[in-house]
Amino acid sequence: MAVTGDGMTFGEEKDDSASTELTLGNVSVDLATFKVVVGVGPANLTYQEFELLRYLADFRDRVVSFDVLSGLLWGSTGPKETRRLNVLVCRLRSKLRNSFPYRLETVRGRGYGLLGGTGGGEPAQGREGGAN
């Protein structure tokens, strides 16, 4: 039997099914193929939008600061990255507008979060407070 570079024998199948798909309410995220489905339709995300969604999904139901997100996405923080993040969130939010129960929320002065899966009060406070 031939051995491939990853230590597997030729003809052996990898089991990539573990942890390659996230389900967030009616949003399905396939980490292997970079495909996102909201409800029954596909959401065509850019690479940066996909990465932002992936980071927020990792921290779902928690607020992630602007600095942490910009550091994860671009490796630096500052006013320029904060503005880039604001634009990116706006674009991603429009593509996830039919998501339920999770919503991409702004928590003013704190950051962003994929909130709502636990039914807590945090998303409503972020929305009513004149969120950006």
Segments making up each domain of the chain, as ranges? 21-128
Residues 110 and 95 sit within 8 Å (Cβ to Cβ):
no
Query: What phi and psi values does residue 17 have, to the nearest 5 degrees?
Result: -70, -25
Burial of 97 (0-12, 13-18, 19+ CB in 10 A): exposed
Question: Is residue 7's pLDDT more than 60?
Answer: no
pLDDT of residue 18: 58
pLDDT of residue 10: 41
Nearest to 52 by CA among 117, 97, 114, 103: 114
- Residue 11, pLDDT > 70, answer no
Please compute the mean of the pLDDT values over residues 119-132 and round it to a whole number.
Answer: 39
56-112 pLDDT, tens digit each:
999 999 999 999 999 999 999 999 999 999 999 999 999 999 999 999 999 999 999
In percent, how much of the chain has pLDDT > 90? 71
**pLDDT score recorded for residue 56:** 97
Residue at token pair 């779902």: 60
Residue 56: exposure state from Cβ atoms within 10 A (0-12, 13-18, ≥19):
buried
128, burial (CB in 10 Å: exposed 0-12, middle 13-18, buried 19+): exposed
CATH code for 21-128? 1.10.10.10
Rg of the chain taking only CA atoms, in angstroms: 17
